[in-house]
Structure 1
Amino acid sequence: MAYLVRGTIVHCPREAGGQPTLETFDDGVMLVDDGHVQRIGPATTLLRSDLKDLPVEDHSGSMILPGLIDTHIHYPQTDIIASYGEQLLEWLNRYTFPAEAAFGDAEVAAETAAFFIDELLRNGTTTALVLGTVHAQSVDAIFAAAAARDMRIAAGKVLMDRHAPDNLLDTAESGYRDSQALIERWHGQGRLLYAITPRFAPTSSEAQLAATGRLARAYPETFVHTHVAENSSEVAWVRALFPDERSYLDVYDRYGLVRERSVFAHCIHLDDDDRRRMAEQGAAAAFCPTSNLFLGSGLFDYAQAREAGMRVGLATDVGGGTSFSMLRTAAEAYKVSALHGQPLSAATMLHLCTRAGASALYLDDRIGGFDPGMEADFIVVNPAATPLTGRRDRAATTIEERLFALFTLGDDRHITATYLRGVRQMPAA
């Protein structure tokens, strides 16, 4: 059924000259029909047009933004978020591997997946690229939970055949076989997409990386999702394990894993040749500021990545990341970039959370903005959800100032409704 949504409509149209900009209607209306955006414009015009008799969901005083897109998150790490005091490799052994072992139990996977999807929606995230565990049933669980809400999720079984506990290892052959079966079962079903997911180079043998490359060639429309150059100790380990490769990224490139729809989390310790290669191949970086700060991994250089022509999306990286909120994550991205002398504008922060994330996932023809024909994934945001943010919002004089304050101070309390293909999912309709 067609209906109208009224409020302050803000999105980033397609970039002009490489710089994100805002398109805003202070009192705007969006026409939603059959789960898609059909038109946006000023309320004074559209409410007097041929649309005047349609029902209106009135959110005047709130912002209507595109749904937020998280380009890297671990759903099995939900219960270890905010665990104390380790860097990456110690973190994996002390917290991650024990937590992931529990997903051998299908009931644990299903309960965690349901909570995880609800938590994403409560924070205004409408699309996410998600890691499961080595257990195939962990992927079944997250896809089933997402399908129940008509949510676009890309996810995959972790591939890991060495340097991990025995109960979390697969083999090159079983990993290929299980991943192939999951692709055939889930990829392209409704809004679900599959991500071929080697955890990171150290936990896959050369045989497994070769098998992963064959899988990626056999299914070019799937994603490749992994980690690269997050931590200096990790980089040194990769150098020792793969002494014949020029760089960490080159390990993946050797096996055909640097390609369109490849998303590499972190990308902190890359060099110019790595960035150039990622740009040439159409691979994307997932910028994970809260995780990088929390684990002491380093500072991603967003400006340098963009100058090289790389696709970059924003990511919470829960559980190393410290919040499900993309608003909180964008605030930390601003601070990281400020340390590089390149603070992010309000338009850039919104772009990272929406249109850029969609581009990183090669979904920018369907999500990330309010272009006519795009899927109607959107959120309603109340800038006055707390006394402080309400006071700050009233003091703002431009939409850029209002949006910047929202990103700097906002969190899940400011998300009052989340819609997937035009249907309200949070709070439940």
Structure 2
Amino acid sequence: MKVSIIGCTHAGTFSAMNILKDHPDWEVSVFERNDNLSFLSCGIALWVSDRVSDPNKMFYSSPDDLAKLGANMYMKHDVTNVDFDNKKLSVKNLESGETFEQDYDKLVITTGSAPIIPNIPGIDSDKVKLCKNWINANELKENASDIKSAIVIGAGYIGAELAEGYATLGKETTLIDALPDVLAKNLDPNMSAIAEQDYKDNNVTLGLSEKVQSFEETADGVIVKTDKNEYKADIAVMCVGFRPNTDMFKDEFETLPNGALIVDEYMHTSKPDVFSAGDAASVHYNPTNDNQYIPLATNSVRQGILVGANIEKDTVKYMGTQASSAVELFGRTYAASGLTAVHAKALNKKVESVSLEDNYRPEFMLTTTPVLMNLVWDPETRVVLGGALTSMYDVSQSANLLSLAIQKKVTIDELSMVDFLFQPNYDKPVNYVSALAGAAVAKADSKVNE
């Protein structure tokens, strides 16, 4: 069996590893435009702000590692065309310029994502940087010691982390976003407000609800003009999100509106013998029971594993995702899984929600710390659909608990009565997640009795 894999970051790497693990005698060829693979780009902000022990450890695999497993590695090779009818790839060696064709029996499209680069005047300036891959990471790290100021555009996780990183380095930092709140797509406003206050307390200028209209390069920096203000810094960094890198396959597959290849529960695309995974593909989003585009490394890894499991025959079904995530900003943890109330409203999905603040452990302890929590559920079934927590205490693993609850369709009633441990060092007799679910039950019951 001949398998060709186009693209090798997370989904491609795990596809190759798992195909070769189960089928060591298969001919597996990997085509990658870059000279590296498996780079954990979520660590860029940490590296830029001197919180990474060794940047080489931001790679968990290498071309040599896959070659040792038996893969034919074509690094710095670009697949320029795919003849799906005849199962043939056209390939260009980016170093020598040589071109050749290669046939396949099964094809895996893991071409990943590309940063969104809006058509804004001046965006091509050398003073406007990107934050996506190893090349970008090196550039941002190299100039971090030279710059005195930075403007970060985009207040999602990547932009929020990078702005926090620059602030901790003592750089004059500005964070701009067209949406009204920091982390608006991940958190509800009550938690975004906490993050925004932390930015202000750390001398970060916020330009929220502002749309960037132009960049103007100057002799010593760049001017960013929005529809409301004008900001100047040594550099600007674009962190406004990603799009699936699937332009070459336009009109060939069933896709989401943004071009992500729709895959079924076994990672098949709409074409026979063609699989996809990771940032090039859709995911099944459990809280809404539909296909969405959610480019997270965790989704890419799991889908890549499934490609390996199902490449010969349908064996393991995809369980879907809750888009669970977490970030630490200025020592405070934000962790979430599933729907927020704001996101549900945008999707016209009827939900109920509740907020609760509670100390994570008893007040008789010498110290304790409050946790602010949100929970979202279906008012008809009472099934948990989402939740988020923030605290100076590490509550990140509680988002994993909520993720499992959403995936297994646990009700608020069940979550309130889960057998959580109690020990004063760690929590209260009623665990804070139980307390949150209990508040949801009380609110739901009060509505029933109205």
TM range (shorter): under 0.3
Please tell me whether Structure 1 or Structure 2 has the larger radius of gyration of its CA atoms.
Answer: 2
TM-score, with length taken from structure 1: 0.26
Identify the structure with the greater helix proportion: 1
TM-score, with length taken from structure 2: 0.25
